[in-house]
Amino acid sequence: MSEVPTRRPAHGPEPEGASRPPAPLLKLSGLEQVFDTKKGPVAAVGGVDLEVKPGKVLCLVGESGCGKTTTARAAAGITRPTGGSVEFRGRALDAMNAAERARFRRAVQYIHQDPYAALNPTRTVYSTLTAGLKRHGLVKGKAEARAKAAELLRLVDLTPPESYLDAYPHQLSGGQRQRVNVARSLAMDPELLICDESTSMLDVSIRVSLLNTLGRLRDELDVGFLFITHDLAVAKYFAWDGEIAVMYLGKVVEHGPTPEVIGNPQHPYTKALIGAVCEPDPDLARANRSAEQLRSAEIPSLHDLPAGCAFHPRCPAFEPGLCDGAEPSLQVASRRRVSCHVVDRDRERAEDRTVTFEAVPGSRRPASGETAEDPQTLRGAAWSA
């Protein structure tokens, strides 16, 4: 594949000796999206707080209809949220002037899920790829525009580009259309890519090749990604050094580093999603199915959400009186956030059972080089009561 074009990160180098983490490219604070329907208002997204940092990947995963795409469209400025705020580099979208909005449009690009609907059927591939370049004055003349379009096609493995530049969408396969869709988003030299199931229409070999190209953009140019997928294998591959946020009925129920969420899921819904992944080992597959069997396969309606935790009608860890009472909130536990009454309760019990030396009247920690009287009991700074 072609080399990724070089670009200096817009945020500039960190000051020497600075230890604070980089400011987020994108920040969603209390994001809400309510739609008016004949049956009444529907809260498709209810209070989402997320951040995407430069050169990092945030994967949004969950079942169809959980609000992933609605969240992404609000983050891209395609729709105006009914509550909360969307900030890009510390500037709220609704407070931007015309010049700032134009820069935001160039810096944030959206890769749509459906390549059949995302491409204008009356435009050739060349016209599609160069429309934004001409609009923002990034090319001068037809020759330069055509050369840039050919470069973009090589970047997404549509070669030779001369075979595709003058083609119309109906002359391309679904996978070829999606690659044109991806190439169009790369034309603006973006700082943030919002990918809505952008690899779902591609063959496996092309999918890996495209993910590697996007990975080079992430690593070499500090491009941030809000990556939406149903495929946890793709999320694990592409966002291993990033984060995963699991959504259910418009709310984030678990959020944390990808290795922790995949390797040690806490929320019962996350466990169910991972248990649904195809496992070639029959013993592991059988163990996954038996470990997290949902109580019901039916997803509650957004018009009539159950009381308490919205997942409790399906949750294998459901406890009457606990889960169907108050709605759980996202609680920070170590490096992740989890929204579950049972997980919170079990964590608090575990913390209560841990007693340190300093908490026990009359006890003291052995001094350096001093031998504890009972090595079986005084093995460390804490023990379980």
Going residue by residue through the chain, which has 385 residues, state the pLDDT in tens, using 9 for 90 and above.
555 555 544 444 444 554 566 679 999 999 999 999 998 899 999 999 999 999 899 999 998 889 999 999 999 999 999 999 999 999 999 999 999 999 999 999 999 888 888 999 999 999 999 999 999 899 999 999 999 999 999 988 899 999 999 999 999 988 889 889 989 999 999 999 999 988 877 777 778 878 888 888 788 878 899 999 888 888 999 999 999 999 999 999 999 999 999 988 999 999 888 877 776 777 766 666 555 577 887 888 888 889 999 999 999 889 999 998 899 988 887 788 999 999 988 888 887 665 443 444 444 444 444 444 443 433 333 323 2
What pLDDT shows up at residue 360?
A: 45
**Measured distance CA(130)–CA(110) in Å, rounded:** 16
**Measured distance CA(216)–CA(273) in Å, rounded:** 29
Pairing of strands 26-37, 83-88: antiparallel
Tokens of 112: 């749509």
Cα separations in angstroms, 45 against 29, 42, 94, 137, 205: 12, 9, 19, 37, 34
What pLDDT shows up at residue 292?
A: 58
**Measured distance CA(199)–CA(210) in Å, rounded:** 8
* Tally of CB atoms within 10 A around 151: 17
What pLDDT shows up at residue 232?
A: 85
**What single-letter DSSP state applies at residue 162?**
G
Torsions phi, psi for 117 (to 5 deg): -95, -20
Residue among 203, 165, 204 nearest 183 (CA): 165
What pLDDT shows up at residue 370?
A: 47
First to last CA, the chain: 59
Longest CA pairwise span in the chain (Å): 85
Q: Spell out the domain ranges in the chain.
A: 26-264
**Measured distance CA(111)–CA(223) in Å, rounded:** 14
Residue among 226, 228, 235, 150 nearest 190 (CA): 226
Assigned CATH topology for domain 26-264? Rossmann fold (3.40.50)
Report whether 228 contacts 58 (CB < 8 A).
no
Report whether 218 contacts 225 (CB < 8 A).
yes
